[in-house]
Amino acid sequence: MAQLYYRYSTMNAGKSIEVIKVAYNYEERHKKALVLTSGLDDRFGIGKVTSRVGLEKEAIIIDDETNVLSIFLQENSKKKIDCVIIDECQFLRKHHVEELIEIVDSCNVPVLCYGLKNDFKNELFEGSYWLLVHADKIEEIKTICWCGRKATTNARVVDGKIVKDGEQIQIGGNELYVPLCRKHYNDGRVEA
């Protein structure tokens, strides 16, 4: 029985490398993995899942208007799809998650979603919210704060200080975001 998986973490926990690894495992066994990612994160090029260790995988872009079910049906008509894998799933909209549910429930194909849970204000992203509501399996990919505790927050840092105001989505990497534990996010310490 296929299921909808939501695997979340803070930044720098290895989500993208996990996407690449899972897709590789399917393909190594002559199975088709449909890999999708948000068009918002263009730091390493559009239509690519790229890990910080330098590995990358081509992916189909999802934007706000994309119908993921239609893409799945079109690609599945060319070659049977055995798994759908999504990177940057926090940027999904409610309708995307509903379409993923349809893929799981009607087509019996597993869907694995990887992304952030909360933003720099410690608020849920839309995609994260709907995946938390609907996912069959929810798993945390853990990483640590500079102090060694489990990181739970993506702090936006400008000029060495945590910023808690601004637009929810501002694309960036290590130059803009730091994974922190709750204590150091709340007290504003980004390093020892």
Nearest C-alpha neighbor of 113 from the set 8, 1, 10: 8
Choose, from 88, 99, 167, 191, the residue flagged as catalytic. 88
**What does DSSP say about strands 137-140 and 60-62: parallel, antiparallel, or unpaired?**
unpaired
Residue linked to tokens 């839309």: 126
CA distance 10 to 80: 33
Distances (CA, A) of 68 to 62, 75, 93, 150, 162: 8, 11, 11, 33, 35
Q: In the annotation, is 98 catalytic?
A: no
- Residue positions annotated with a catalytic role: 88
